[in-house]
Structure 1
Amino acid sequence: MRTNEPWPVPWRAPSLQTAAVYRARVRGCLLGGALGDALGYAVEFSSLDHIRAAHGARGVTGLVPDASGAVGLISDDTQMTLFTVEALIQAHARERAKGVGGAWPLLLRQAYERWLETQSGPAPQQPAAPAGGLVNEAWLYARRAPGNACLSGIAQSYAPDPALPLDGAPGRVNPGSKGCGTVMRSAPFGLVTSADAAFAMAARGAQITHGHPTGYYAAGALAAIVAHLVAGDSLEGAVLRTLRLLERHRGHSETTSALRAALDLAADGAPTAEKVESLGAGWVAEEALAIGVYCALVEPAAGRALLLAVNHSGDSDSTGSICGNLLGARHGDTGLPHAWVAQVEGRATIAALADDLAAECAQG
């Protein structure tokens, strides 16, 4: 890996009216993603019929207990998202202090290796790691159905070279895998740089674990959409601009088709769970992205959009997480259902990490 490559330009918070708006959108993106994850985690792997049988004709209408009886638990989706944030904070601080960029792929891989450590032990090692950080958070030491490609990919200790082109070729690690484990962790890239740079960073970061072009393009697309939202764009506008960005890359057709299907469906009348399921189940990257985008587009209220995103037969926590990332980036944390957010596992840590990211980028 080339260590002297600079950070993608511009490496600063998008231009908004005030730093407070930016901070609210960073908080909203991370807390919204965690809320969607928590809403969906309790019903992941359940069919729509089973969800309705257990919770009523409308399905889940709020946070419900999982099989253990706990309410508000987050899954690997939020766990990996938080470790992504930690890596981005470290990378920006390193460049700001030393004036040397190019380390973000290695720092990202190392962050995911720390996440992998939380999946193999019951608690942080004692004494605590001297560097502190998320690896010392006991509540993160919970294995919540992580994806096989994420586990096996991180174990290969691969850090992508940011100088290599995104040409639609299969990546080195798990080249046939396009699971949603790429896209569900990639929103933070859109919080820290421009849409084009966020797309490239998220796509390359996805290649740490998944090599299928659709897997890494869908990750890049989510990051680009989030970047446009943070800059003040509408969701529909952000998606349309991201579609134009995708067209510049060979092998984009699956991701592009999924996003266009979400746009078309959002314009086709009132939302239903059956319409959500027409986009797929969300186990693969482009389907999870499409469902998250559709639900955020078609429902104006955050609470209803999140419930739509999790009431289906499929990867409910990932689709809920993506929908929450989008809603929070668009409306800020004040646009989320506060009574639900208050019940989310690790809420205080997530909010503090969001504030750290916003503060670090504000110094850029």
Structure 2
Amino acid sequence: MTTLVYKQAATGALTGLALGDALGYPTEFSDVPRIEARFGPWRRLDLPTPALVTDDTQMTLALGRGIRTAMDRGVLEPEGTADAVRREFIAWNRSPENNRAPGNTCLRACALLEHADRPWQDASQIHSKGCGANMRVAPLGLAPGLSDEQRAGAAQLQSALTHGHPTALAASDLTAHAVRLLAQGAEPAGLIGLLRSYALENRSLYHERWLGDLWRRAQDPSPEQFIARGWDECLAILDRLQHAVGTVSPEADPCLATGEGWIAEEALATGLLCFLLFTDEPLTALRRAACTSGDSDSIACLAGAFAGAYLGADAWPGEWADRIEYRSDLLTLGALWDA
């Protein structure tokens, strides 16, 4: 807890996430040569003016507000968490500010969540493992006072409200765990090993208290086999990440090593790769993540969350942090969870 307070890990992670999102917003859907032709060399990529974010940051804030509401009611538990986060996701979907090219999975699921007479599991897009679930999960790596079971269960539940594929669940859990480890001071050099151990320990653990009968909507014969399918894909991408960290050139497009990030496990791995290539150069990590051929804003927002959790709020220069959209909302949540 002392480490979290001293370096303001929550403020650092949330600010870094939003900065990465804004930096990658104008580069998404372009390849590296086109990005550099338009914006110049990737190491000089500058924060746009205005520094607008995408649905990645908007949904991170929605999740953060939902978790705050659920925790204000007492102990974080499944029913209260699902209710509070469901309400925030519906409000986001209705908002006129939801005009930043959000993913179809989130739009479909949030529309279905409007049916209050139906369980949330009916809204879950069981075959979707897009990165929309784990790009927003950082608040659950930052909120203090949660048990391992609460943190993992809530991370998977918030994913399942929209993205129900087991890999989306596992990648969200793993992303939140990575943020938590870095906020607590874990050394980046050992991070992949810690994540691999966590994945192996949880490979056949289905959080029924949090997920209910979600697994029955897939084709797996048991809940354990359902969730293991997701963890196995995460373990495979961690192997690719481990190889990439020791072999890729920082000048190469990270997507060539760990994937373009449109799916959950690749977004996690490529965001981590950008962070691990430049652990003490947070702006360089963001620039590398934003200048990629894949889902640049989501990759960069994850890289920013990891860097900010590890280095704290001072990682980000004031001339960037002060200009980011939703700055007040980010600071409010950060201040709540830094303390």
Which TM-score tier does this pair reach, normalised by the shorter chain?
0.7 to 0.9
One-letter amino acid of the structure 1 residue matched with residue 34 of structure 2: H
Aligned-pair identity in percent equals 32
The offset of 1:262, in angstroms, is 1.7
Change in CA separation of 1:59 and 1:28 when aligned onto 2, cut-off 3 Å: closer
Asked if the contact 1:94–1:101 (Cα under 8 Å) also holds between the matched residues in 2, the reply is: no
Query: Unpaired runs of 5+ in structure 2?
Result: 204-227
Alpha-carbon distance, 1:244 to partner: 1.7
Aligned to 2:222: none
Partner of 1:38: 22
Asked whether the 8 Å contact 1:95–1:101 carries over to 2, the reply is: no
Aligned equivalent of 2:103, options 138, 144, 147: 147
1:190 aligned residue: 141
**Post-superposition offset of 1:274:** 2.7
Work out the CA distance in 1 between the residues paired with 2:81 and 2:106: 18
Once residues 43 and 346 of structure 1 are traced to their aligned partners in structure 2, the CA distance between those partners, rounded to angstroms, is: 20
Residue in 1 that maps onto 2:170: 217
CA contact (8 A) 1:277 1:312 kept: no
Distance 1:108 1:82, change over 3 A: same
Give the SS at the match of 2:244.
Answer: helix
Question: Contact conserved, 1:32 with 1:327, CA < 8 A, in 2?
Answer: yes
Query: How many Å separate the matches in 2 of 1:60 and 1:277?
Result: 21
The offset of 1:44, in angstroms, is 1.1
Correspondence 1:279 to 2:258? yes
Aligned to 1:21: 6
Give the length in aligned residue pairs. 306
Q: What TM-score, normalized to structure 1?
A: 0.78
Over residues 280-317 of structure 1, what are the superposed CA-to-partner deviations in whole Å (9 max), with x where a residue is unaligned?
11111111111110011111300111111111111111
Contact 1:298-1:305 within 8 A present in 2 as well: yes
How do 1:51-66 residues align onto structure 2 when only pairs under 5 Å count? 51-58=35-42, 61-64=45-48
**CA distance in structure 2 between the aligned counterparts of 1:269 and 1:173, rounded to whole angstroms:** 37
Partner of 1:124: none
**How many angstroms does 1:43 deviate by?**
1.0
- Is residue 255–residue 261 contact of structure 2 (8 Å, CA) maintained in 1? no
8 A Cα contact 1:196 1:224, kept in partner: no
Contact 1:203 1:216 in 2 (8 A): yes
Q: Distance between the aligned counterparts of 2:290 and 2:196, measured in 1?
A: 25
Residue 84 of structure 1 aligns with which residue? Answer: 63
Measure, in 1, the Cα distance between the counterparts of 2:135 and 2:53. Answer: 13
| Range with bigger deviation, 257-266 or 278-287 | 257-266
Separation in 2, partners of 1:25, 1:194: 18
Alignment correspondent of 1:203: 156
Q: Which has the higher helix share?
A: 2
User: 1:228-247, aligned counterparts within 5 Å?
Assistant: 228-247=181-200
Q: CA deviation at 1:332?
A: 0.6
CA distance in 2, matches of 1:350, 1:290: 25
Q: C-alpha displacement at 1:199, in angstroms?
A: 2.6
Query: What is the aligned partner in structure 1 of residue 297 from structure 2?
Result: 317
Instruction: Report the counterpart of residue 348 of structure 1 in structure 2.
Output: 328
- Which portions of structure 1, spanning 4 or more consecutive aligned residues, are displaced by more than 6 angstroms? none
Map Cα deviations across residues 250-303 of structure 1 (whole Å, 9 max, x no partner): 111211211222222112254123343332111111111111100111113001
Deviations 1:92-111 (A, max 9, x none): 11006xx9874112111111
Contact map agreement 1:195 1:228 (CA 8 A) in 2: no
Structure 1 Cα separation of the partners of residues 175 and 160 of structure 2:
15
**Aligned partner of residue 155 in structure 1, secondary structure:** helix
Question: Counterpart of 1:308 in structure 2: which amino acid?
Answer: R
Which residue in the other structure is 1:111 paired with? 88
Residue 19 of structure 1, CA deviation: 6.2
> C-alpha separation between the residues in 1 aligned to 2:92 and 2:318?
28
Alpha-carbon offset, residue 356 of structure 1: 2.9
Instruction: Kindly provide the amino acid, as one letter, of the partner of residue 214 in structure 1.
Output: T
Aligned to 1:306: 286
Q: 1:338 and 2:318 equivalent? A: yes
Unaligned 5+ segments in structure 1 are 1-15, 65-69, 122-140, 162-170, 360-364
Work out whether residues 61 and 329 of structure 2, in 8 Å CA contact, stay in contact via their aligned partners in 1.
no
Which amino acid in the other structure matches residue 38 of structure 2? A
Residue 342 of structure 1 and its aligned partner are, at CA, apart by 2.0
